[in-house]
Homo-oligomer: A and B are copies of this chain.
């Protein structure tokens, strides 16, 4: 998973980092620097975040908003935060209309029958109980589907075969995911009975990738499903032969908009010793998709931010500012927890002195990017120097927003950090049954945990105004 050229780069950075560290990190005083160095080493050698992740993936498993797993996750998170030494723990309830996944059957019927590994997109409507039998029309891109004539897909199933490529920063996801988000309504506008698409995924496993989709208002809601990459290949190869390819799709998903299901974000604090109303925010999301055990997405984030809080709670003295760890509800299905948080804490946004979420990656963190006031950039450079021996380089840009849920706080003005973790293989497993503990490299995971721990302690001790 590691690119050899980057290893050399990291080795070089490590060397120069040690030299730089001893000469110029000024935001913290000598005692604080000593503490942060110890904290870094302790965290690098600790498997606490992995233990937390093992606990979550074993004792909870998948946890889509409002499911039994989600309810177990909330209880688990409250108990875990308390056990890890967070001195204040609370929940913030959210509500969402109910969607039931149901089952799926997908097959090529003619000319060459194949059972297809497929999954319904999140929020899809079901088919009729007898399913849909219809010929397939392939589009190589979403743009090609958009360009199709109105009515040209009447009585047909639209198939978008675009394949996402693997990149270290997940680049290309936005392009690929556009079909997932809006493809069904575009296909429906052309008359299609259903949308099937190649999974937004970079693997070659017979495991399809789910994820949220949305219907455009006023357009007929048609069922939407993703095929695994090998299944999409079989369909492409079948279509290449120029014969009529008939497909069968049955989805028993159900919407119950009248039935509100409940969930909650879980929040814990290490209250600051000097300026407790100033908040350093660490985020991850508690929910996952209803397949896999949500080990990467976002179990890794949960383990990292909980372990960071726990390591700091174990210090003889609490840092000056409060460290608030927010495990957001319902990120996957529509940012429920973060929207609720913004509503409940709207008068407190300015008190969030800086924040970072963990919600992407699988390998080591290779970059820190700031989104702070110009006068605070030197301080972030000081932080970066402490992280340099871990292989973390400073981005030249200063436009970071916090990842995922926490981007809402960033957009409301919170100074933010974005750490880039190696995500070359992230989209092999993203939103699949294959998102399980075995995919996580314990050593890389320790490095990620150390980076977030160091960041939290640094920001909570630094007497710096990070605002723009």
Binding site for B on A (CB under 8 A): 54, 57-61, 68, 72, 111-114, 117, 204-207, 229-230, 233-234, 237-238, 241, 292-293, 432-434, 436-439
**Bound complex: CA of A292 vs CA of B228, how far in Å?**
12
Assess whether A433 is in contact with B58, with CB atoms less than 8 Å apart: no
Question: 19 A-B residue contacts at CB 8 Å?
Answer: A54-B237, A57-B234, A59-B112, A61-B112, A61-B113, A72-B112, A117-B433, A204-B438, A204-B439, A205-B434, A206-B436, A207-B207, A229-B438, A230-B436, A230-B437, A230-B438, A233-B437, A233-B438, A237-B437
- Contact residues in B for A61 (Cβ distance below 8 Å): 112-114, 234
CB nearest neighbor in B for A76 = B112
Report A77 CB to chain B, min CB distance, Å: 15
Assess whether B238 is in contact with A206, with CB atoms less than 8 Å apart: no
CB nearest neighbor in B for A207 = B206
Looking at the complex, which one of B58, B206, B241 makes contact with A112 (CB distance below 8 Å)?
B58
Assess whether A436 is in contact with B58, with CB atoms less than 8 Å apart: no
**Bound complex: CA of A248 vs CA of B434, how far in Å?**
21
CB nearest neighbor in B for A436 = B230
CB nearest neighbor in B for A72 = B112
Report A186 CB to chain B, min CB distance, Å: 28
Known: A207-B205, A207-B207. A60 touches B437 (CB 8 A): no
Report A161 CB to chain B, min CB distance, Å: 14
- Contact residues in B for A59 (Cβ distance below 8 Å): 111-112
- Contact residues in B for A68 (Cβ distance below 8 Å): 113
Looking at the complex, which one of B58, B112, B234, B438 makes contact with A238 (CB distance below 8 Å)?
B58
**Bound complex: CA of A58 vs CA of B233, how far in Å?**
9
- Contact residues in B for A241 (Cβ distance below 8 Å): 58
- Contact residues in B for A292 (Cβ distance below 8 Å): 206
- Contact residues in B for A238 (Cβ distance below 8 Å): 58
Which of A72, A205, A207 has the most chain B CB atoms inside 10 A of its CB? A205
Known: A57-B234, A237-B54. A206 touches B434 (CB 8 A): yes
Assess whether A293 is in contact with B438, with CB atoms less than 8 Å apart: no
Assess whether B60 is in contact with A436, with CB atoms less than 8 Å apart: no
**Bound complex: CA of A59 vs CA of B59, how far in Å?**
44
- Contact residues in B for A229 (Cβ distance below 8 Å): 438
- Contact residues in B for A437 (Cβ distance below 8 Å): 230, 233-234, 237
- Contact residues in B for A436 (Cβ distance below 8 Å): 204, 206, 230, 233-234
- Contact residues in B for A432 (Cβ distance below 8 Å): 206
Assess whether B433 is in contact with A206, with CB atoms less than 8 Å apart: yes
**Bound complex: CA of A438 vs CA of B205, how far in Å?**
9
**Bound complex: CA of A59 vs CA of B61, how far in Å?**
39
CB nearest neighbor in B for A114 = B61
CB nearest neighbor in B for A235 = B58
Report A170 CB to chain B, min CB distance, Å: 21
- Contact residues in B for A434 (Cβ distance below 8 Å): 204-206, 230
**Bound complex: CA of A204 vs CA of B433, how far in Å?**
11
CB nearest neighbor in B for A428 = B205
- Contact residues in B for A205 (Cβ distance below 8 Å): 205, 207, 434
- Contact residues in B for A60 (Cβ distance below 8 Å): 112
**Bound complex: CA of A58 vs CA of B54, how far in Å?**
40
**Bound complex: CA of A303 vs CA of B214, how far in Å?**
44
Which of A59, A111, A112, A437 has the most chain B CB atoms inside 10 A of its CB? A112
**Bound complex: CA of A275 vs CA of B48, how far in Å?**
73
CB nearest neighbor in B for A230 = B436
Report A106 CB to chain B, min CB distance, Å: 13
- Contact residues in B for A72 (Cβ distance below 8 Å): 112
Assess whether A293 is in contact with B237, with CB atoms less than 8 Å apart: no
**Bound complex: CA of A73 vs CA of B112, how far in Å?**
11
CB nearest neighbor in B for A295 = B230
**Bound complex: CA of A91 vs CA of B237, how far in Å?**
28
